[in-house]
Each structure stands twice: as structure tokens, then as C-alpha cells.
Amino acid sequence: MNGDQRGPYKDKPQAVERLTSIIEGFMALLGRRLPDDVQTRLEQLRAREDSPLGREIYAAMFTNLDMAGALDRPCCQDTGILQFFVRAGTAFPLLDELEDCLKEALIRATLSVPLRPNVVEFFEEKNTGNNTGTRIPWVDWELLPGSEGIRLFAYMAGGGCSLPGFSRVLMPLEGYDGVYRALFDQIVAYGVNACPPLLVGLGLGNSADTAARLSKKALLRFIGTRNPHPRAAEMEERLEKALNKIGIGPGGLSGNHSVMAVHIEQAGRHTATFAMGLSTGCWAHRRGLIEIRKDLSCNILSHGNAVL
């Protein structure tokens, strides 16, 4: 192997193995431990809950999380379908190998963690058995020009928490009122399926696909942060307050809070369209962010003190 093929590594296959093993370990962490922002918000909501049933639900959640840590097992049986959102440095030396590494890491993690095999192929109607399949793991790419590292978001999209998702293109005259109506109708009808308290991602854009994609990206943002646009930030706060008045509560058994947060992401729209997308995350919102550098050292930004 000459220097060009090897890039900066003395042993490129070993570097690929190291990258795969980092991602496998990251998935194990993601399955068994909630990210710090979600854990903190659940603790805050638990402290504010005064419904006896709601308090019992929070107690069960935290016992469940403690046991997942102690037994080194996933904190929910539904370990979802893996979605990766890669912010890839264009100078990251293993860019060509990255997608294969993600797939291989997922196959390994399915056995080693273990992750429940959830992927069923359309038309064959058969479980693939290893959590991969056509276009799965789903990989969404954004480029970081000139960067030598990657920032990798991983999300375990469970079945229940994916159920309320939808996107729709509204007539412009329906405007924000149309968005609120559709959002509330959907959460009231299906929110309970998604194991509340929910993280609500609202995407606003020009078409069904852009709005849907933005709504999922909204779920990646850490709880406790706000959209930088002041009107969007105000809308997030107002929607949170209003959705909490529905009274779905933890586990859907009534209580003070139905949502952990509402996050909005927006893109410019066509003058003739007003598109919205909705994605929801459940109380066990297993989303993580890891930074991997060119020397294959890494930093987990979502889970403090975590060791892979």
C-alpha cells in the first residue's frame, strides 16, 4: 500500500476497525443511557409532577434507567431504527469508508449490545435480522468544509415515538393557525402512543420533504436550547405551555407535563406554500452526539463522563 492510499494512517485497515469500534461502543452507550439533557429534563418534570399516577410513572422510568445501567442493557426493548446525521469534515481521512463503518458497527452492535432487530423490508415483509436493510441505517449528510473531523448524531427511532410523525403542505392562508391546529390534532390523537413526555420537533419549510427533514433535525438539538430566531423561540415556549395543558402526562396517564420541550427548525418557503413537518421523541429519547477527530480520538458531547 502506498502513502496516498493509506492517508495519514500507518495501518489503514486498523484505523477503519478503530472507527467501527468507536461507533459500535457509542451505540451501546446510546441504548442503555439517556443523554444528559433528557435525563435532566425528566428529573425536572418529575419534581414538578403532583399527580400520584404521574409520580409512579416517573419512579418506574428512573428505576428502569438505573437497572439498564447496572445490568448493562438497553433502557427500552425497542432500540429503534438507527438514523445517523453526519456532519462530515471534507478533509476527514476516512470519509470514503464512513458509511460502511456505520453499517458494520450497527450489525455488530445488534449482537453485542444487543439491539432488537427491528428492520422489516417492504415487499418481502421479512425482518432482516441485523437492523440493516434497504437504505438502513438511514444516513443524512452535511459537509463541514475543510474540517478533518466528523460530528456524528445517532438516533434510535423507536416505533411508538415515530407514530405521530407526519408532514403536510398547507395553503399559505392557513398560516400559523393551520400549523397549530394540525399539530394539536396529531398530538391529541397519537401522542399517547409515543410514550410521553414527548420531545416535539416541528419543521417549517416549503415542501413536505424539507419540513419533515427539519422536524427530525429539531429532535437532535439539546433540550434547554432555543431556536436563535426570537419569533421561533417565542413559538417554542408558547407551544410547550399549550401542549402541557392537554394533560396527557407521563406515560399518557395524565399529569402536569405532556412534553419535555418543543423545538422548531425552519427554512425559507415558497410564497405559495406553508409546509409543516412533525417528529416526536419519547421519554427515552436516545439521541447522542460524538465528535471524532482525524487521529480517531473522540469526545462524546451528549453524555458526560461516558467511556466507550
Q: Applying CB under 6 A, which residues contact ligand SF4?
A: 76, 78, 80, 158-161, 194-195, 282-284
**Whole-number minimum distance, CB 61 to ligand SF4, in Å?**
9
- Tell me the C-alpha distance between 264 and 220, whole Å: 11
**Whole-number minimum distance, CB 127 to ligand SF4, in Å?**
17
The verdict on whether omega for the bond into residue 137 sits within 30 degrees of 0, i.e. cis, is yes
Q: Which three cell numbers stand for residue 228?
A: 436563535
**Helices assigned H by DSSP within 123-191:** 159-162, 175-190
**Whole-number minimum distance, CB 80 to ligand SF4, in Å?**
6
**Whole-number minimum distance, CB 285 to ligand SF4, in Å?**
8
The single-letter DSSP state of residue 192 is G
Return the number of the residue (11 or 72) whose C-beta is nearest ligand SF4: 72
Return the number of the residue (153 or 274) whose C-beta is nearest ligand SF4: 153
Return the number of the residue (214 or 284) whose C-beta is nearest ligand SF4: 284
Return the number of the residue (38 or 275) whose C-beta is nearest ligand SF4: 38
Return the number of the residue (25 or 250) whose C-beta is nearest ligand SF4: 250
Whether the Cβ atoms of residue 131 and residue 82 lie closer than 8 Å to each other: yes
**Whole-number minimum distance, CB 195 to ligand SF4, in Å?**
3
Output the residue with the shortest Cβ distance to ligand SF4: 158
- Tell me the C-alpha distance between 298 and 308, whole Å: 10
**Whole-number minimum distance, CB 193 to ligand SF4, in Å?**
7
Query: 3-state class of 262 per DSSP?
Result: strand
* Exposure b/e, 251-272, CB count within 10 A at least 16 = b: bbeebbbbbbbbbbbbeebeee
Return the number of the residue (57 or 169) whose C-beta is nearest ligand SF4: 57
- Tell me the C-alpha distance between 147 and 156, whole Å: 26
> Is the sign of the CA dihedral 29, 33, 37, 38 positive or negative?
positive
**Whole-number minimum distance, CB 284 to ligand SF4, in Å?**
4
Return the number of the residue (23 or 194) whose C-beta is nearest ligand SF4: 194
Q: Which three cell numbers stand for residue 150?
A: 466528523
CA dihedral of residues 77, 68, 285, 114 (deg, nearest 10): -50
